[in-house]
Copies of this chain bind each other. A is one copy, B any other.
Amino acid sequence: MAGQVLDGKACAQQFRSNIANEIKSIQGHVPGFAPNLAIIQVGNRPDSATYVRMKRKAAEEAGIVANFIHLDESATEFEVLRYVDQLNEDPHTHGIIVQLPLPAHLDEDRITSRVLAEKDVDGFGPTNIGELNKKNGHPFFLPCTPKGIIELLHKANVTIEGSRSVVIGRSDIVGSPVAELLKSLNSTVTITHSKTRDIASYLHDADIVVVAIGQPEFVKGEWFKPRDGTSSDKKTVVIDVGTNYVADPSKKSGFKCVGDVEFNEAIKYVHLITPVPGGVGPMTVAMLMQNTLIAAKRQMEESSKPLQIPPLPLKLLTPVPSDIDISRAQQPKLINQLAQELGIYSHELELYGHYKAKISPKVIERLQTRQNGKYILVSGITPTPLGEGKSTTTMGLVQALTAHLGKPAIANVRQPSLGPTLGVKGGAAGGGYSQVIPMDEFNLHLTGDIHAIGAANNLLAAAIDTRMFHETTQKNDATFYNRLVPRKNGKRKFTPSMQRRLNRLGIQKTNPDDLTPEEINKFARLNIDPDTITIKRVVDINDRMLRQITIGQAPTEKNHTRVTGFDITVASELMAILALSKDLRDMKERIGRVVVAADVNRSPVTVEDVGCTGALTALLRDAIKPNLMQTLEGTPVLVHAGPFANISIGASSVIADRVALKLVGTEPEAKTEAGYVVTEAGFDFTMGGERFFNIKCRSSGLTPNAVVLVATVRALKSHGGAPDVKPGQPLPSAYTEENIEFVEKGAANMCKQIANIKQFGVPVVVAINKFETDTEGEIAAIRKAALEAGAFEAVTSNHWAEGGKGAIDLAKAVIEASNQPVDFHFLYDVNSSVEDKLTTIVQKMYGGAAIDILPEAQRKIDMYKEQGFGNLPICIAKTQYSLSHDATLKGVPTGFTFPIRDVRLSNGAGYLYALAAEIQTIPGLATYAGYMAVEVDDDGEIDGLF
């Protein structure tokens, strides 16, 4: 009785149509689902072209996007690998195949091995083959031909388990893997090959025979005849993988296609046999499509899974060692591992050593379909010399959320300035068992962002002064213009910034030689009024001697002296811009808008006018990328920007917040819970929080879900009237012994802060940062006051001594609070008058009665209004030690009149700032300063840094 034909073509057709249906069905609930197969072909071999055509056609039928990348025969290995790398990283590409054979100058193995295992839909990469060859391995994909063979056997209801199978041929792409598959399905497999003696002898008993030896009709039909004397009811199934072209003059093409088996004879003795063509070939292509679909589905699942951030174990010691000792005792994760845990691709990451990295803000674009995570602001009560521990609380909270409650959470903090780090004990790494590590790298240089700001600011300052010098020393317009727009190699042209300035001046000319003398004067002379220059030079060191200086005293400067000064770098407008920019383009535009001075006609002169926008942006091109570090428990921290808390917003950057909120965000179709971004703002809520909402959130469009208000028993006692604390002297006993009265009295400050937060419509959790001497009665008093004042919850937190474990209660309260509805609104309308905005802040936040604008300040307000800067939000610089302008007024002063001594413009940053007092914008070093204790051993280990 003749055998039957096993029809691969029909089977493949059915697979393709099933795939198409499944894709459509998924698209029903995930509209963006689009399986995408990249096919790289190098050169122009006709056979390769045929195969690629078949694959593209099959993809189209199956509803899969085929991304065909056709490279020139001469492409170098480096170029091919670059394409592979790009496709590996491209989230829209699910499968990648490199059409073989490649031109002889390319290393096939190196190139195919470069394809990520998760995208290796051919199944031949080292990981997938390795897993296939493991007994209980988990390959991402099975190689297409072997997989197609098994599917055909299944289709024909062939029993594989317990069968005897013979594989003829031991190639890497068919023979060996199909034998592995059969073995894994519990067949007993014999692999025969060119060196096997008497192959026929193995076939008589075989149930399944796979032939892949690449020789036309090598296997004779009669080999399948039952052995003499054995029964003839053997039901052998033959899979013929061969595709051999042999001469056939009867065909129009001159050749015909035959398999490795003598089909017409074999079919007489076997139960089932695949034809050639129409057998295994179409199945191979169909399996490629199925693998692509599998890849796309897996990626969809992966991207909707919650992030997995395994914590680093903490070994808590008592008494708690110094911050640097704790930091050094912990071996951090390699930062690329943490980035991977956060789902950041390697091309989005720039490593800076082993423990710091910059993240490309392009992450925001890639994850644009995600809903943001929860946004938590950590703020504090009015500061006291005792310290409240906002940074430590921020770190403890994220450590608790991620390492102890399994919720993805990112802490977003500012980069510390070297000034305080080397001046007084400071830094913002947190402390104890809640800090950023390695703390020395965090505190010194980080990735150089502050230095980049310093360089940019000082280029601007030099450009302004030098421009004035040249304008003054070259009295003749023509000579000056010739130097400003010089001829080079005979050619003369405007730089792009000059061209933009001409356009602003209404001069529509592009040839420098075409300007009239009037136009030259208008264009070339900035006529800066030296008394109006607002840009000071900066240095990131506490150098008090530079507060006020006279420059230009060298003979070469020809008596063009000027009184000016230095600020600390973090006080510069560029730092505020870095913190408030939404992206690189926004930063560039803000830099261009910075008003550096007025000209002799009181018109504003901008960075664009000085021609510095591009150079400043170039110097800050890397600084705009947030820096990834980690907490002591290996959870992620973004460190970015660090604007001064006195005269600026004192918060980390909008870009870092946007990146972090997307990283812990969720895809709309995902069922998982969003993660948390915890950030902080300098000083108390009334200063830092108010600016955070009215300036930073207004700029970013982001809305917090909850505010954590940090308080301590000691600080509240200080507000409640406990004796003053003096450096170097023992703490008065009022602080170390129970005193509920001081606590209750001081809690008024906390309650005012709670009320202030509630004015913005956001829920408040009070975190009582625990000290050993706190008593239950004191804590109960705080909690009672907080709840009465409208806090959502008030809990103690012991993260300094215990890390995240100590902040679990706080974390739980924050999770609950952030699920409350938010009714967010700004405190004031930016379009109200400057005076009204000032009054609103003073009355609603500070509790003052009225404002008193001094004449000099009023003159500036009028000028800014006239120049069109009247509708900016306002940052008020005042003492941080009181709700009022008077540092000696603790608790909750009321009824005071708040003085406005000066108003200044930060047009690039996008706000006016009003000064209630003389604010020191560069600190000094004390007689004993932090730098004196710092030592470095021969291995580069730093000691004495706190």
Contacts and interface: CB of A to CB of B under 8 A. Distances in A.
A617 B932 contact: no
A78 B929 contact: no
Contacts of A730: 490
A556 B76 CA distance: 66
Contact of A466 (B444, B447, B585, B924): B924
A545 B925 contact: no
B193 A82 contact: no
Interface string A447-469: 11001101100110111011001
B451 A445 contact: yes
A712 to B, nearest CB: 18
A76 B633 CA distance: 13
A932 B498 contact: yes
Interface string A917-941: 0001000111111011111101110
29 contacts: A78-B333, A126-B130, A130-B130, A135-B170, A188-B193, A188-B195, A188-B196, A189-B191, A422-B459, A444-B621, A451-B452, A459-B931, A463-B929, A466-B544, A466-B924, A470-B926, A483-B927, A487-B728, A496-B935, A496-B944, A537-B543, A545-B557, A545-B560, A584-B936, A614-B934, A615-B934, A618-B934, A618-B935, A618-B942
Contact of A541 (B195, B196, B462): B462
A351 interface: yes
A78 B334 CA distance: 11
Interface of A: 76, 78-79, 82, 126-127, 129-130, 133-135, 161-162, 170-172, 176, 183, 186, 188-193, 195-197, 202, 310, 312-313, 331, 333, 350-354, 358, 418, 422, 440, 444-445, 447-448, 451-452, 454-455, 458-459, 461-463, 465-466, 469-470, 474, 480, 483-488, 490, 495-498, 537, 539-554, 556-557, 560, 562-563, 565, 583-585, 588, 611-612, 614-615, 617-619, 621-622, 728, 730, 920, 924-929, 931-936, 938-940, 942-945
B940 A458 contact: no
Nearest to A196: B188
A486 B728 contact: yes
B936 A618 contact: yes
A265 to B, nearest CB: 24
A543 B127 contact: no
A545 B161 contact: no
Q: How many copies does the complex hold?
A: 2
A367 B487 CA distance: 53
B543 A619 contact: no
Given A354-B350, A486-B728, A545 B541 contact: no
Contacts of A461: 543
B193 A186 contact: yes
Contacts of A350: 351-354
A266 to B, nearest CB: 21
Nearest to A354: B350
A195 B925 contact: no
Nearest to A441: B622
Contacts of A938: 583-585
A386 to B, nearest CB: 14
Given A451-B451, A927-B474, A553 B557 contact: no
Nearest to A935: B614
Contacts of A539: 458, 537
A351 B356 CA distance: 10
Given A133-B176, A565-B554, A466 B925 contact: yes
Given A545-B465, A621-B936, A728-B486, A451 B444 contact: no
Contacts of A612: 931-932
A358 B351 contact: no
Contacts of A484: 927-928
Nearest to A569: B455
A224 B447 CA distance: 72
A171 B135 contact: yes
A183 B193 CA distance: 9
Q: Which 5 A-B pairs have the closest CB atoms?
A: A451-B451, A615-B931, A547-B554, A548-B554, A462-B543
Contact of A191 (B183, B333, B543, B920): B183
Nearest to A924: B466
Contacts of A614: 931, 933-936, 943-944
Given A543-B461, A547-B554, A549-B549, A615 B474 contact: no
Nearest to A613: B935
Which of A353, A463, A548, A931 gathers the greatest number of chain B CB atoms within 10 Å?
A: A931
Contact of A553 (B483, B490, B563): B563
A462 B932 CA distance: 13
B925 A463 contact: yes
A353 B351 contact: yes
A313 B77 CA distance: 10
A445 B452 contact: yes
Contacts of A621: 444, 936, 940, 942
B557 A551 contact: no
A618 B547 contact: no
A932 B470 contact: no
A486 B936 contact: no
Contacts of A622: 353, 445
A504 to B, nearest CB: 16
Contact of A619 (B444, B483, B556): B444
A557 to B, nearest CB: 6
A540 B943 CA distance: 29
A186 to B, nearest CB: 4
Contacts of A172: 133-135
A135 B614 CA distance: 58
A127 B76 CA distance: 25
A78 B313 contact: yes
A82 B351 CA distance: 19
Contact of A82 (B331, B540, B588): B331
A296 B548 CA distance: 66
A330 B197 CA distance: 56
Nearest to A125: B130
A76 B313 contact: yes
A477 B291 CA distance: 82
Given A130-B130, A458-B541, A195 B162 contact: yes
A702 B6 CA distance: 77
B495 A933 contact: yes
B188 A190 contact: yes
A490 B728 CA distance: 7
A454 B455 CA distance: 10
> Which interface residue of A418, A466, A497 has the most chain B CB atoms within 10 A?
A466
Question: Which among A133, A495, A562, A584 has the highest number of chain B CB atoms within 10 Å?
Answer: A133
Nearest to A634: B78
Given A351-B352, A544-B556, A551-B545, A470 B927 contact: yes
A350 B352 CA distance: 7
A342 B191 CA distance: 44
Given A135-B172, A422-B459, 12 more contacts: A78-B310, A130-B133, A351-B353, A445-B451, A451-B454, A455-B541, A485-B928, A488-B728, A545-B552, A548-B552, A553-B563, A583-B938
A928 B127 CA distance: 58
Contact of A135 (B176, B459, B470, B920): B176
B78 A312 contact: yes
B542 A462 contact: yes
A944 B487 CA distance: 16
Contacts of A485: 928
Nearest to A78: B312
Given A353-B350, A585-B938, A611 B331 contact: no
Nearest to A462: B543
A522 B652 CA distance: 46
Contacts of A422: 459, 615
Nearest to A163: B197
Contacts of A358: 353
Contacts of A351: 350-353
Contacts of A588: 936
A186 B943 CA distance: 64
A928 B610 CA distance: 11
A381 to B, nearest CB: 24
